[in-house]
Structure 1
Amino acid sequence: MSDATTHLLLPYILAAQAQKHVTHNEALRLLDGLVQLSVHDRNLTAPPASPADGYRYIVSSGATGDWAGWDLNIAIWTDGAWLRLPPRVGWRAWVEDEGLLLVYDGFGWVDTTPAALQNLALLGLGTTADAANPFSAKLNAALWTARTIAEGGTGDLFYTMNKEAAGDDLGLTLQTAFVTKALMGLFGSDRFRLAVSADGSSFFDGLIVDNATGIVDQPRLPRFKAYTNYDNYVAVDTWTKIGINNTDYNDQGAFDAGNNRFVAPVAGTYQFGATLLYKVNASTNARMRGRLVLNGATEIRGSRGEISGAHASEATTLWLQTIVLLAPGDTVELQGTFRTADGYFAADHTSFWGCKVG
């Protein structure tokens, strides 16, 4: 029969043993040192100068002094002396100065933090993952940074997302209070899309890039082309709003055909152009003028033009073009007038167009 336990080598109290309390106390001392093992340090090769009673250490390789030959053993300072505990496979120790949990594998103390995590079903960081979101994280900041060349990397960083087929969806969902406000990615095709929503159910494409051509489309961009379907009579030296009352197209409904003007839906830089076709009333001595007017009162600088040469009815044409910075609700209208003689701005070919460019 052995005189010590198999795993912890705690001494037994033997039959007819004198001073049994010595053996019992030795066993308690060993238990006190081993149970819930937590060591102060694992990098020392020589005992510290003034250890407190009960301090424990994993002795580093190359030990000297009172620890000579104790490499990788547990050293406990107890009752004024060092006690040696040779580790067994599976012993675990918390290293206090590193905040690290180690396990003894028979050859050394190894970090229990895994070098790799493979084929996990669920992973929750600060929150609970579930079947719908097998990887979930609850945090205030995240960082991805490239492994440098000095670290054996390339210095580059690519984040890859992949979908099975072109008709599937792949993208980023941006939410407020778990209501989707924006989508960015490849949805239902391989074209890149950026879409926004007010309620998480109805979405508007703000940007689409064709992956086959690289052509960029902004489907919700305010743009229009409008014209007048009747001859607009204008007197001499009287600036008059042209009755642009029909549209060839009117994206976002920004052109108000009932009031013959464009109304800016959002702030930005807009480009406008116009074509005014002359039609004679009584005399071709008329001299045609045109301009674009902001909010019904202010001529937009650079938009005014005039043809001062001879006019030919339904042939002489004046072109205008300019850009202007608008605030939401600003209006732009086309105005015309004549010098010398009155006349008409001809139906169908007198037109006004514009779009947001920035």
Structure 2
Amino acid sequence: MPHRAVRGPLSGARAARGRVFVDLSTAFVAPSYSRQASLTQAQLVDNTENLALPYIMPSQSQKHVTHNEALRALDAVVQLAVADKDLGTPPSSPDPGARYIVGAGPTGAWSGHASDVAAWQDGAWAFYRPIAGWLAWVHDESRLYLYSGGGWTEAPGGGGSGLVPKGAWSDAATYNAGDLVEHEGHVFLSNADGNIDHEPDATTPGSTAEWTYFSIVTGGGGGGGGDVNPVSLVGINDTADATNRLAVSSPASLFSHEGDDHRLKINKAAAGDTASVLFQTDFVGHAEFGLTGDNDWHVKVSADGTAWHEAIVVNRATGAVSLPNTAGGGGGGRELLTANRTYYVRTDGNDSNDGLSNSSGGAFLTIQKAIDVVGGLDTSIYDVTISIASGTYTTPIVLKNFVGAGLCTLACSSGTAVIGVTGSNAIRGTLITSRYRLGAGIRIQTTTSGSCIYLEKSALQLEGCEFGACASVHVVLDSAWCYVLASYTISGSAAQHILASTGSQFIYLGGLTVALTGTPAFNPFVSATIGSVVRAAGLTFSGSATGSRYSSTLNGAISSGGNPNYFPGNAAGSVATGGQYA
């Protein structure tokens, strides 16, 4: 698109062709694409101070050119009304004299002129840089904008409705419903179309068939305040009605503080009523929260706006939270125990049962199912027992954390429950911070590979269990803790009975008996390495074993009272690389 040739007053007849760029912030008609940083005294004399209009100089030739340039500038910036303020690309066929505020990221002929006023004059674009305080009416928005020096923003009160001039009051005066009318320093809302039979009463607040009176008080510094009181209906870019007396159609709504706080209040008449916030899609409700039907706090959802489902209920008296439609019992989520709990596991059970009764129709089939259910509890201060019926269980067990201070005990109430696993660790715990105990009547054994118990950064109590034949180590601790609180039995061989590594602790309560049957073999019986500790003083070992008795290496420590023959075995123990045996 062409740019109009310019002849400016600074150099007589200017020969260079280019866009007209009037930089009004420095009072200079720029002959090039770049903004002039400063003006000489002569340049200031050649142009007016505010609009940079060129003076006709003495003895100047072609005075009409200078005069016409000034007229074109006045035609562009006086009574400024633009077609659009957001375009970044020049329109292809602008009307003569059409004006635009150049939008962000301009391209083509408008490149480099964001926020400038572009005017299509004489078949070319002329650009006028605004000065802070300029006002421009934007036709496609029907709004008034103010240039602040950093950009164009909507002017206060710049909406398209405005106040209707009061004109001459008579019975013939005509106003539209919703018009705001100024009279004697006050503002009135017209409640009816057509003729008005009397002037608004500026002294009596209230509403009549024709007028609603309210006052608007403005403050300094750009702030404002006042009251609109009372108004029966208010519609902002929307139509209010008898039910929705305030209607707002807007991309967003802002409620901000004055001072420190801001609180939005929704009040209802009685407990059985509703005070809520409803979320809709195409005016069909799909989510709601608030006081719905009582004074508890509810969150509910709907697929069709008709059938509603409670998601959350918060009890107003206790603050207790329930999730009525979430699987898990007790109102949903984690069940909070209010008493000790027992789950039952039987070889004829079923993992689809609830585990709460000792029968084939009530008990779980696997120990792991019971562990998983406990992992979903909040035990509070109460304990859980997993009662395992006699029989053999071949599924590996992975311990799970649960919420609460309770203790979970795995035990067999009658006979022996064998946890016999092939090719894997029988019981494993990783990062377990919950309290677990392996109790009486449980025998643990593995074949092919795997340890009986393998703990990483976890803790476990042993109380009366039995260790059978094991393909690897009976108890492996890796940065873990194991506490023996009752006598127990060893009935099968293993690579080692105890291996404590990497800062672990294996601690026996004094006065206990470890009974060995069948002369099991170990090499060694107990091992402590990499800063780990085994405390085993005050024990009684019955029966015998083969293999070395102990190994303490890499700053590991074994406390037994110092007797080298203390632990079971038929070969001496060993100490190396900073290990201790005392």
| TM-score normalised over the length of structure 1 | 0.40
| TM-score normalised over the length of structure 2 | 0.27
